[in-house]
Chains A and B, each alone.
Chain A
Amino acid sequence: MITILVPSALRSDVDGAARLEMPAGGSLAAILAEMDRQWPRLGRRICDEQGQLRKFVNIYVDGEDVRRVEGLATPVPDGAEVQILPSIAGGAVG
């Protein structure tokens, strides 16, 4: 199993859960696809409809920024922790 840590702003999309448990599934892309299947409102906050990670969403697998590893191809081993965090570069104007 792997654990997904959900940021507070998105917990309303998963009935208030801060952590989600999912079967390990190979790459981050596979994990996100399964997440989208189970929690589609959460899924579309993370990736657009073409499957691309949104610009100002950061994902860390066991503390590593996936953009600095293999992106959506980053392996997610059994027992891994996948943390979703909003980038400080986003946010509304002002």
Chain B
Amino acid sequence: MIGTAKGLFLARSEDDRRTWEISGPEFPMTGVYAVAVDKRGDQPRLFAGMTSSHYGPGLASSDDGGRSWAEPDHAPIAFPADTEASLRRVWAIAPGPADQPGRIYAGVEPSALFQSDDGGTTFELVRGLWDHPHRPNWGEGFGGQAIHTVLPHPTDGAAMLVAMSAGGVYRTGDRGATWSADNTGIKAYFLPDPWPEYGQCVHKVARDPENVDRLYAQNHHGVYRSDDGGHIWKSIADGLPSDFGFGIVAHPYRGDVIYNFPVTADGMRFPAEDQCRVFRSTDAGNTWEALTTGLPAGPYYGVVLRDAMCADDSRTAGIYFGTRTGDVFASRDEGESWTRVATSLPDVLCVRAASL
């Protein structure tokens, strides 16, 4: 699934990810900022969150692999009247743990978390986070003020982590009733106090698949790891050409393996050193290597946004990324080599991949 600034494109491969067939756009002239594949049920359900600048946000699902899409008659995600807030955009769609098959989370703009217990047909605002005393002070990044990362704990159904720009990382251990800001060690260089309790502009957080208390974060300058479930963070940016970027991806089942696409700087949003390179660490961020085989060799100017890199769930993991210049690349060998899946698409905002 390839969400772009002008609709959703689908890429299908029938030959173990060697060649791809592109279709779309679905939802033309909408920005598709969030897509997801939920494989917990009898059949995979695809989700797409789209925003029309004219007609507002929406959330659609497909139970036939993206061949047809449906939106409920009612608005699936809507702020209650007493909040006086209106949904601007869905930024994250996250299926819940395996033992909660109907549970779907949505992170949205303005910063709020919604949850569904009927597979994504209706959602309810998570009041514990909406009523958090920090909320009036949460800031706004260039992309808006949104919860863009939702990481349910894979084994503890009461625990989860969200991240927002700006605001940082928040965690709950009691099913969303209460939340704590957990940003110790993450720098907010753009604030007078660069080490606040909250207010950091965390761009993305990924969870290690083997050590579920190990987390990785790409910050608005800064790349970090937490080894205690997200409480304390330490830098793992040494070895990267830049500590700026948007996305960070964990290998789907190999611990300590992560992927990153460095961007030069906040004020210079081009790929680091103008090169189209993915950086991989196989030791939880202690060292990094550039992966370039099959990627464009010359100067390259399309950056990878926070959700525009992902892994699939195949036995030999595939890694994918799309750029703001409309290219999509895939690796069927965990990043060793890459092929171009699509080119000249609209700005790629998000990608997700799965075997169906």
Contacts and interface: CB of A to CB of B under 8 A. Distances in A.
A92 B31 contact: yes
Query: How large, as a class, is the contact surface on chain B?
Result: 20 to 34
A9 B55 CA distance: 9
Nearest to B31: A92
In the A-B complex, the 9 residue pairs with the smallest Cβ-Cβ separation, listed nearest first, are: A45-B55, A48-B86, A49-B78, A90-B54, A90-B53, A86-B54, A56-B54, A40-B73, A44-B75
25 contacts: A9-B55, A10-B55, A41-B73, A44-B56, A45-B54, A45-B56, A48-B56, A49-B79, A49-B81, A50-B84, A52-B86, A54-B54, A54-B56, A57-B54, A86-B54, A86-B55, A90-B52, A90-B53, A91-B29, A91-B54, A92-B5, A92-B6, A93-B5, A93-B347, A94-B346
A45 B51 CA distance: 10
Interface string A58-94: 0000000000000000000000000000110011111
Contacts of A45: 52, 54-56
B71 interface: yes
A87 B87 CA distance: 20
Describe A's contact surface by its main secondary structure.
loop
A87 B40 CA distance: 41
Contacts of B30: 92
Nearest to B88: A48
A35 to B, nearest CB: 13
Describe B's contact surface by its main secondary structure.
loop
Contacts of A40: 73-75
Interface string A6-50: 000110000000000000000000000000000011001110111
B111 to A, nearest CB: 17
Nearest to B84: A50
Contacts of B85: 50
Contacts, number: 61
Contacts of A54: 54-56
B209 to A, nearest CB: 35
Given A91-B54, A94-B5, 8 more contacts: A41-B73, A45-B52, A49-B75, A56-B54, A90-B54, A91-B53, A92-B29, A92-B31
Contacts of B29: 9, 91-92
Contact of A50 (B52, B54, B81, B346): B81
B16 to A, nearest CB: 35
- Most chain-A CB neighbours within 10 Å: which of B56, B86, B346? B56
Contacts of A90: 52-54
A48 B5 contact: no
- Most chain-A CB neighbours within 10 Å: which of B31, B52, B74, B81? B52
Interface in B37-77: 52-56, 71, 73-75
Nearest to A49: B78
Contacts of A56: 53-54
Nearest to A10: B55
Nearest to A46: B55
Nearest to B80: A49
Contacts of A91: 29, 53-54
A17 B85 CA distance: 31
Given A48-B87, A93-B347, A87 B78 contact: no
- Most chain-A CB neighbours within 10 Å: which of B53, B54, B56? B54
A46 B56 CA distance: 8
Contacts of A9: 29, 54-55
A48 B107 CA distance: 18
Contacts of A10: 55
